[in-house]
Amino acid sequence: MIRVENVSKTFFVPHEVKALDDVSCSVKRGEVVVIIGPSGSGKSTLLRCLNRLEYADTGHIYIDGVDVLDPKTDINKLRAEVGMVFQSFNLFPHKTVLENITLAQLIVRKRAKKEAIEKAMFLLEKVGIPEKANVYPDQLSGGQQQRVAIARALAMDPKVMLFDEPTSALDPEMIGEVLDVMKALAQEGMTMVVVTHEMGFAREVADRVIFMDHGKIVEVGTPEHFFTNPEHERTKLFLSQIL
C-alpha cells in the first residue's frame, strides 16, 4: 500500500536539519502502523512527505502504486485518497461542522450536495456527534473538533489515513473519545499510519510499531516486541522515559 524507499529530507531554514535520513519502510493494506520517537525525530516530516505536504529531497514514495514524488503525478487526486488528521485539528473556522465535512466532497469529489450531506451526517453519527452538525468549530471541545476533523478526512473515502499526534493537543479527559474513533476505524480495516505518544493505543491497535530517532528508523517490530524486549539502547531509553 505504502512503500518508502531511501527517503531523505533536509531543512535549511532556520538552520540545517536532516529531518529524514535515508528512511525506508512499508505499510500493507489494512495495517495499522504506529510511529513513535522523541520530539524532533522526523515523525511529522515522514508523514507529511507521504502526501507531499513536504517534498522529499531524494528517494521514492509509492502509495497504491502511485509515485508520489513524480512531478507528473496528479497530487490533488492522490491527496484526496490520503486522509490526514493534524495535531491542531485545522478545521475551517468560518464553516459549520457540516460544511467542513461537505466542502471537499463538493469541490474535489464533485458529489451532489444531497449525497455530500448524507455522507457527512453518516460520518458524524459514526464519530458520535451528529447533533453538532450546524455549529461552528469554535463551539466544540477539542475532542469534538478532532472527531470532526477525522470525519472530514473520511468523507473523501481515503485509502489511507495519516494521523499526526491527533491527541497531543487535547485535555486528558478527551483523549479517550478520539482514540475510540480511531480504534473503530482500525477494526473496520482502514490502513492507518499514526504518530502518537499514546502507548496504550499502540499496544492495543498497532500491527507494527516504528521507532524513529534523529531522522532515522531505529527499530521496527510488533507491539509485544517493543514493550517486552526492545533491542536498541535508544529505544529502551525512550520507552523508559515515556512509560
Partner 1 sequence: MAERKVVKRRNRHYFLWIGVFWGVLALGIGLLYFSTLKIEYVWRWYRVPQYFLYKANIEIRADIDGDVVSIKPRSSGVIVKVKGPSDSAEYTVPDQSYLRVQEGDHVFPGDIIGTYSKWKPGLLLVGLYTTLKVSIIGIIFGIFIGLVAGLARISENPAFKWWSIVYIEIIRGSPLLVQIFIWYFVLGTLINTLLAKQGLQQLPPIYYGVASLAFFAGAYVAEIVRAGIQSIHRGQMEAARSLGMTYSQAMRYVILPQAFRRILPPLAGQFISLIKDSSLLGIIAIRELTKATREIVTTSLQPFELWFVCALLYLILTFGLSMLMQYLERRFIIT
Ligand X SMILES: Nc1ncnc2c1ncn2[C@@H]1O[C@H](COP(=O)(O)OP(=O)(O)O)[C@@H](O)[C@H]1O
Task: Enumerate binding residues for ligand X (CB under 6 A).
Answer: 11, 13, 17, 19, 37, 39-45
148 and 127 in contact (C-beta within 8 Å)? yes
Q: Which of partner 1, ligand X, Mg ion, none interacts with 91 (beta carbon under 5 to 8 A by kind)?
A: partner 1
Please state, in angstroms and rounded to a whole number, the distance separating the CA atoms of residues 162 and 178: 14
Q: Indicate the pairing of strand 2-11 with strand 58-63.
A: antiparallel
Beta-carbon-side half-sphere exposure of residue 55 (alpha carbons within 13 Å): 5
State which residue, 16 or 188, has the beta carbon closest to ligand X.
Answer: 16
Count of residues near partner 1 by CB under 8 A: 28
Report the residue number, 143 or 223, with the smaller CB distance to partner 1: 143
82 sits near partner 1 (criterion: CB under 8 A): yes
Which of residues 43, 147, 152, 208 is near partner 1 by CB under 8 A?
152
**Segment 102 to 131, residues that bind partner 1, using CB under 8 A:** 103-104, 107-109
User: Cβ of residue 126: shortest distance to partner 1, in angstroms?
Assistant: 18
* Angle between helices 113-127 and 97-107 in degrees, nearest 10: 130
Distances (CA, A) of 137 to 45, 87, 109, 176: 27, 15, 23, 20
For residues 228 and 178, give the distance between their C-alpha atoms in angstroms, rounded to a whole number. Answer: 27
Q: Which residues bind partner 1 (CB under 8 A)?
A: 51, 53, 76-84, 86, 88, 90-94, 103-104, 107-109, 136, 149, 152-153, 156
